[in-house]
């Protein structure tokens, strides 16, 4: 019997590209290793001020391991463990795009952290919401293409129990996620007009509203089947 996820897990040039992207900040870190402080700022609070530190050796090792493992785990591990693996091929293009965006997001955060610790004037509070906002918008734009699975998407008991509820919920959630992404970008570019708490509210609502909608849709469809 043919493995339904075989096509998804076959190596391609896209996977090579992801590994090159993921390895790039590690190569930079090794190149500038002697110039980095022994204790690197790795976490930033309000105002973009560092409030968490880690030794450069452990930081570079751990973040490099995570960055290289992430696209591989999303390539092989997650689809193979997912009970809904047969549906991955139905939205493979979207899933590949999501893998790319996650790799770019983590690699970008790695690059920014390195540049900040090298003394460059990097505004963490501007770049992080900008990256997250772009990711949120892209996911929202393609969300309606996702098919039922246990790893990716609006996974509630009701969307997983009924494919029609899944379809309706993701079509409804897409525009909400795009709006949330725009708010994130606004927080990044015009913080004087759109305060940071708007971003937190946008994230909560982009999860809460589809969750409630999925329950109401499931209830409505269940009643109509009686």
pLDDT (tens digit, 9 = 90+) per residue, 14-43? 899 999 999 999 999 999 999 999 999 988
pLDDT at site 8? 67
- The predicted model gives 174-182 an average pLDDT of 95
pLDDT surpasses 90 at 157: yes
**Among 99, 122, 145, residue at a domain's last position:** 122
Torsion angle (degrees, nearest 10) of CA 81, 82, 87, 91: -90
Q: Please count the structural domains in the chain.
A: 2
Label residue 1 by pLDDT band (50, 70, 90): very low
Same domain, 93 and 13: yes
pLDDT cut 70: percent of the chain above it: 95
pLDDT surpasses 80 at 5: no
CA 170 to chain CA mean position, Å:
16
pLDDT surpasses 60 at 136: yes
Same domain, 73 and 143: no
- The predicted model gives 174-191 an average pLDDT of 93
Q: What is the mean pLDDT of the chain?
A: 89
Same domain, 33 and 141: no
Tell me the per-residue pLDDT of 60-81, one tens digit each, with 9 for 90 and over. Answer: 999 999 999 999 998 888 888 8
Same domain, 8 and 99: yes
Radius of gyration (Cα) for the chain, nearest Å? 20
Same domain, 35 and 129: no
**Among 122, 150, 166, residue at a domain's last position:** 122
> Cα dist. 160→98, 169, 171 in Å?
20, 11, 15
pTM: 0.83
Same domain, 46 and 134: no
Same domain, 78 and 46: yes
Same domain, 13 and 117: yes
Same domain, 77 and 142: no
Least confident of 13-27, 45-59, 205-219: 45-59
Same domain, 131 and 199: yes
Same domain, 212 and 134: yes
Tell me the per-residue pLDDT of 99-124, one tens digit each, with 9 for 90 and over. Answer: 999 999 999 999 999 999 999 988 88
Same domain, 43 and 78: yes
By residue range, what is the domain housing residue 197?
Answer: 124-226
pLDDT surpasses 60 at 2: no
């Amino acid at each position: 019997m043919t493995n339904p996820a075989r096509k998804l897990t076959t190596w391609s040039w896209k996977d090579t590209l992801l590994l090159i992207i993921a390895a790039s900040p590690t190569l930079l870190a090794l190149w500038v290793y002697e110039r980095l402080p022994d204790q690197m700022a790795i976490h930033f609070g309000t105002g973009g001020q560092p409030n968490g530190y880690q030794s450069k050796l452990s930081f570079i090792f751990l973040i490099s391991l995570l960055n290289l493992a992430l696209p591989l785990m999303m390539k092989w591990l997650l689809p193979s463990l997912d009970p809904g693996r047969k549906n991955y091929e139905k939205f493979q293009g979207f899933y590949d795009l999501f893998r790319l965006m996650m790799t770019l997001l983590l690699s970008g955060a790695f690059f920014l952290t390195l540049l900040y610790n090298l003394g460059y004037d990097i505004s963490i509070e501007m770049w992080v919401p900008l990256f997250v906002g772009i990711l949120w918008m892209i996911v929202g734009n393609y969300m309606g293409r996702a098919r039922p699975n246990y790893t990716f998407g609006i996974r509630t008991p009701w969307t997983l129990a009924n494919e029609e509820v899944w379809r309706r919920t993701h079509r409804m959630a897409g525009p909400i996620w795009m709006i949330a992404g725009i708010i994130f970008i606004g927080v990044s570019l015009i913080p004087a007009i759109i305060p940071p708490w708007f971003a937190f509210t946008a994230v909560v609502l982009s999860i809460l509203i589809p969750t409630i909608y999925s329950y109401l849709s499931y209830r409505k469809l269940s009643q109509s089947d009686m």
